[in-house]
Amino acid sequence: QVQLVESGGGSVQSGGSLRLSCAASGYTSRRNCMGWFRQAPGKEREGVAAIVTNGGSTDYADSVKGRFTISQDNAAMTVYLQMNSLKPEDTAMYYCAADLGIDWWAPCGVSGNYPFWGQGTQVTVSS
């Protein structure tokens, strides 16, 4: 059973930093697409960042480029989202998502389809 468990959310002031973690389990495929998404109240869900676990290519939403960094620890089956220079508009519930066992030619990006989702972790940025 695939499980994705997010952690690391919290409340910070504008300009601060947080690092989110997504601990994954329940699968053995090596080439996976892991993504971070967020959803603020009253807004649509937005893809934030994505990474291929075997290859390391990344994709970011324009709104977070230069501020957020997605990374991975394959041995620990954990994906991270380092968030710097946080803004109040970054306030949202952040979700980890996975598309497992992707082909080498398959795209992995913030607008992809992800079958597996975590429960989310709240990030609140105050001005």
Residues whose CB falls within 8 Å of the CB of residue 47, separated by 6 or more in sequence, listed in order:
35, 36, 37, 61, 109, 110, 111, 112
Residue 54 has a pLDDT of 79
pLDDT tens digits for range 51-100: 999 777 999 999 999 999 999 998 889 999 999 999 999 999 999 999 99
Is the pLDDT at 38 greater than 90? The verdict is yes
Residue 67 has a pLDDT of 98
Residue 23 has a pLDDT of 96
